Amino acid sequence: MSEGSLAAPWWQRGVIYQIYPRSFADSNGDGIGDLAGIEAHLDHVANLGVDAIWLSPIFPSPMADFGYDVADYTGVEAMFGDLAAFDRLLAAVHVRGLRLLLDFVPNHSSTQHPWFVESRSSRDSPKRDWYIWRDPAPDGGPPNNWISDMGGPAWELDPATGQYYLHTFLKEQADLNWRNPDVAQAMTDVMRFWLDRGVDGFRIDVLWHIVKAQGLPDNPANPDWREGMAEKLRVLQHHSTDQPEAHAFTRGMRQLADSYGETLLVGEIFLPRDRLMRWYGSEAEPGVHLPFNFELIENSWNRDTLARLIADYDAAIPDHGWPNWVIGSHDAPRIAARVGEAQARVAAMLLLTLRGTPTLYQGDELGIGTVDIPPDRIRDPQDLRQPGMGLGRDRSRTPMAWDASPNAGFSTAVPWLPLHPDWPMRNVAVQEQDPHSMLALYRRLLAARRAHPALSLGRMTLHDTPGDVLAYERVHAGQRLFVALNFGPDAQDITPPARPGRIIAATGTRTAFDGRIDGDEGFIVELEP
């Protein structure tokens, strides 16, 4: 586990904060968040102590999948604002010393994108091969057995031209054909458009999907599939994802990003660890800077599981790579809903003290927990298409609560999704007045991370500890910090590797560390030389 240096790029030292624009703040009273709303609340983000903002898609879209169906890659959706509003936001972000990442969606476009409209117009269209079209199978059905990640066949018949087009997600999201060099060039031009405008990088949506196997063979059946599992899991996506040719396109994205300086590429790549690591590329031919690591979301929340995955993941990182961690996103159940509020405090300390770049999701700094979405308020197409499967993402996309005024200060109108039930007390204004709130904890942890390079750049050593306690050291430039986290309800006595000094941060109210760690408690302690 290598030790970094203060010359490390900003994204190795920094913390990313994800904003879901529909749900952050509404400036114009339509119940939907927008760019001006984000700009009005930038001080909240800056005061947290993060370094960069990642915006979920803001591009023109019919909103079949809430912006992940892009109809124009170089514009701004009217409900969010316009390019002038984006430029104002970007300038305001930079004035505060923050950086801005956009969500880049290269695998598919909206079927309302002019490219697809032209592609669909005729089999002889110059853009026909910009998308993946195939003749029906001999029985008239889909060309192969691929299943949409949203359920149902991954193919939609176009009666006018008699062919099917591929859609990995909704039928309104047609997959682009990255084997066509014109597509690769067009998407490079999109990235260049935003980089020239001043953005600091991209989170790249479903990057591992962008190339499909030649010939589009059937995917093998999944022998472990059982009733009650998501339909997409009926097959193993061996031929529809993670193709070797995708790495060449990723290297091209990286070369473009590097030509703009310290520009960050984060790849959404949901794969087993050994395959995930390939997306770092090699030292000579690097891939994305950070292939997203979902292991803290996807695994059980207990000491033994977490200790094992942390050690194994860190050991798997190539020498030229850098780890990253995330405990929540717009696609995943909120951490406080998963593990409860007490453990959500422990999770905050874990996220912000592990070796690697953390990504924090909006609202987790308030400890937003379970939000029940009434059937008539469900908006997520994944939930509507596969009801009762627990796949709904609305529960993670509910609006931010800013204060105790009507609609939590999010909007003057009824928000597009319900607020969390305890919003009158769980909001930014209330928590700012409480030194023991979740918001105060996140601010303390982020301040500690900024003040102590050992927490961002230091080498990490895991220690053997009893019971439910996970403990590790972070060491940098002569400073030794000891992190102890109790993932269980019972107190434990532990022995630090050296004499403990002052407490840097704690999840609770204790001000001294005597070797005892209470249930659901965490400490960052300075060790004496």
Q: Are residues 28 and 168 in the same domain?
A: no
Cα-flanking dihedrals φ and ψ of residue 495, to 5°? -115, 110
8 Å CB contact between 217 and 185:
no
Q: How many helices (H) and strands (E) does the chain have?
A: 15, 20
Query: Which pLDDT tens digit goes with each residue over 231-241?
Result: 999 999 999 99
In a domain, 511, yes or no: yes
Q: Are residues 503 and 364 in the same domain?
A: no
Q: Are residues 350 and 496 in the same domain?
A: no
CA dist., res. 242 & res. 211, Å (int):
7
In a domain, 2, yes or no: no
In a domain, 1, yes or no: no
8 Å CB contact between 110 and 116:
yes
Active site residue 139: no
Res. 1: pLDDT tops 80: no
What's the CATH code of the domain at 163? Answer: 3.90.400.10
In a domain, 90, yes or no: yes
CA dist., res. 41 & res. 227, Å (int):
45
Q: Name the burial class of residue 124, with classes exposed (0-12), middle (13-18) and buried (19+) by CB atoms within 10 angstroms of its CB.
A: exposed
Q: Are residues 369 and 514 in the same domain?
A: no
Which pLDDT band, with edges at 50, 70 and 90, does 399 fall under? very high
Which pLDDT band, with edges at 50, 70 and 90, does 7 fall under? confident
Query: Which pLDDT tens digit goes with each residue over 336-363?
Result: 999 999 999 999 999 999 999 999 999 9
Q: Name the burial class of residue 489, with classes exposed (0-12), middle (13-18) and buried (19+) by CB atoms within 10 angstroms of its CB.
A: exposed
Q: Are residues 101 and 154 in the same domain?
A: no
Instruction: Please name the residue that has the structure tokens 């586990």.
Output: 1
In a domain, 470, yes or no: yes
Query: Which pLDDT tens digit goes with each residue over 112-129?
Result: 999 999 999 999 999 999
Q: Are residues 420 and 281 in the same domain?
A: yes
Better-predicted residue by pLDDT, 426 or 2: 426
- pTM given for the model: 0.97
Query: Which pLDDT tens digit goes with each residue over 148-183?
Result: 999 999 999 999 999 999 999 999 999 999 999 999
Res. 369: pLDDT tops 90: yes
Res. 3: pLDDT tops 50: no
Q: Are residues 304 and 432 in the same domain?
A: yes
- Other CB atoms within 10 Å distance of the CB of residue 196: 9
Marked catalytic residue, from 51, 69, 149, 205: 205
Marked catalytic residue, from 26, 51, 175, 268: 268
433: tokens are 């007045």
Q: Are residues 125 and 223 in the same domain?
A: no
Domain count, the chain: 3
Active site residue 526: no
pLDDT of residue 6: 52
Instruction: Please name the residue that has the structure tokens 């006595």.
Output: 493
What's the CATH code of the domain at 425? Answer: 3.20.20.80
Average pLDDT over residues 475-502: 95
pLDDT of residue 528: 87
Query: Which pLDDT tens digit goes with each residue over 45-56?
Result: 999 999 999 999
pLDDT of residue 4: 46
Average pLDDT over residues 94-112: 98
In a domain, 452, yes or no: no
Mean pLDDT of the chain: 96
8 Å CB contact between 524 and 503:
yes
Instruction: Please name the residue that has the structure tokens 């050690």.
Output: 311
Residue span of the structural domain in which 122 resides:
114-175
Percentage of the chain lying above the pLDDT 90 cut? 94
